Structure formats: C-alpha cells, structure tokens
Amino acid sequence: MSQLSSQDALKAQVAQAALAYVQPHALIGVGTGSTVNFFIDALAHSGIPLQGAVSSSVASTQRMQSLGIPVVDVSQVDALSVYIDGADEIDGHGYMIKGGGAALTREKIVAAQAQQFVCIVDQSKRVDILGAFPLPVEVIPMAVPHIIRQFAALGGRAVLRLREGQALVTDNGQHIVDVHGLKLSDPLAQEALISQWPGVVTVGIFAYQKADVCLLATPSGVQTLRY
C-alpha cells in the first residue's frame, strides 16, 4: 500500500470525520478538490445509504459515479441536509476563499441550497485574514481585460489562469482570473462589491455562503470549529 504524505494523511483523517455529518438516506451536496476526493472515497467505503448526492463539478460527478454513489441533478432537489467541501483558506468567522479547483460557481450554487456547510480542511488552510491565497474569480471571457483593470484599481494583480498554455475553461465554459495581493479584511463587503461587476460570474469569496462548521485536521486530531 502506498504511503500518504503527511498532508494527505490529514486530508484523509478530516474526510473520515465528515462522515458523521451524513445521515442515512439523506440528500447531500459534495464539493470538489483533493480533500473532497478523500471524502468521496470514504463515503463510498462507508456503506452509508444515500438518497443522492448533488455534485459541484464534472470531476466529482465522475468520481462518485465510478464508486457507485448516486448523483442527482441540482434541479431535482429542494434542499440538501449538508454540503461538504474543502477550501483554500478559512478565517475565524467561517468565511472562505474557494475556487482553487475552478469549481467555485457550482460550489456556491450547491452550498446555497444546503442547511449546513461543513468545511473540511487541514490546518494549513486556517488563516486570520483571507487573501494570501490568490483569489479565484470566474469571468465571462470577453470581460477578462476589464476585470483585470478593475482589480488593478483595487490594488490587486489579476492573472488569467492557464492550463497547458491555454486559458482554462471551466465546467461552465468561462475563464478564471486569480487575484494576487488583495487583503480581504471585509469579506462580506468585498464579495458584494466584486459580485456586481459586469462579467463576473462568481467571486471565490464565500462569506454569504460561509461555513457553519469547520473540521480542521491537525497532527493531534480533528478539531471541530463552529461559527
């Protein structure tokens, strides 16, 4: 059996802890990323029967389907008992930066329909002030130059995200800019401001869709933080 890196061991540990938030026969929302991949694997192996899982990305849909987890379309559900997802950063209020995996738009839509957001992270993601991680923003392609200028006026350096030398195209057919150098000292106000710029599909500040619970993996165990 392959040896997990210490960070992957923390991700596996926190993914296992998240199973406690999955009620049998529930409808749940599932996020995207390497931590969530550990959760999907743990869920499949747990044998917990589900009514279904709403996915936040093509990648998570494929992983769940390959492991026999029933995936349901978000348009077919009224509410989800819980949404389980990782984050790139989380602060002391449960506000987060998300979108490192380019799935932020669907993540925010699915999170908005859940009664509880359970964020699963290792301790490297816990910060006092959001912004050291470049802020992902999903943007309609024709608006990218304008949005880069808008961020420059705020003191940020927005960079178009590339994949294999080309602009990355999201599951929604849009582009991502990653904004360096922004200190997110007022995440609610900054999310509201950036969200209303024409051409922005979704900003990766999750303050309105904040975490209710953070499961934080540390070498001495998983801590539960409630907001």
For residues 13 and 22, give the distance between their C-alpha atoms in angstroms, rounded to a whole number: 16
**134 counts as binding ligand 5RP under rule CB under 6 A:** no
Count CB neighbours of 193 within 10 A.
14
Q: How many residues bind ligand 5RP (CB under 6 A)?
A: 17
Q: Does 16 sit near ligand 5RP (CB under 6 A)? A: no
CB of 153 vs ligand 5RP, minimal distance in Å? 26
Cβ atoms of residues 78 and 52 within 8 Å: no
* Lookup: tokens for 29: 């929302």
Phi (first) and psi of residue 98, to 5 degrees: -135, 165
Asked if 14 is part of the footprint of ligand 5RP (rule: CB under 6 A), the reply reads no
Closest CB 202 distance from ligand 5RP, rounded Å? 10
Q: Which of 89, 107, 138, 191 is catalytic?
A: 107
Output 100 or 134, the one with its CB closest to ligand 5RP.
100
CA dihedral 17, 71, 107, 75 (to 10 degrees): -140
Query: Which of 18-26, 62-70, 92-100, 216-224 is the region at the interface with ligand 5RP (rule: CB under 6 A)?
Result: 92-100
52 binds ligand 5RP (CB under 6 A): no
Identity of the residue, 6 or 49, whose beta carbon is nearer to ligand 5RP in the bound complex: 6
Q: Which position among 102, 158, 179, 184 is part of the footprint of ligand 5RP (CB under 6 A)?
A: 102
User: Using CB under 6 A, which of the segments 18-26, 27-35, 71-79, 110-118 binds ligand 5RP?
Assistant: 27-35
Instruction: Output 173 or 198, the one with its CB closest to ligand 5RP.
Output: 173
End-to-end CA distance of the chain: 38
Is 164 known to be catalytic? no
Neighbours of 188 (CB within 10 A): 14
- Angle among Cα 117, 25, 206 to the nearest 5 degrees reads 10
Under 8 Å between Cβ of 115 and 79: yes
Tokens of 56: 């936040």
Name which of 14 and 144 has its Cβ closer to ligand 5RP: 14
- Least spacing, CB of residue 124 vs ligand 5RP, in Å: 9
- Which residues share a beta bridge with 118? 84, 213
Q: d(Cα 94, Cα 40) in Å, to the nearest integer?
A: 23
Q: CB-wise, 22 or 87, nearer to ligand 5RP?
A: 87
Known catalytic residues are 107
**Binding footprint of ligand 5RP on the chain (CB under 6 A):** 31-35, 85-88, 98-104, 107
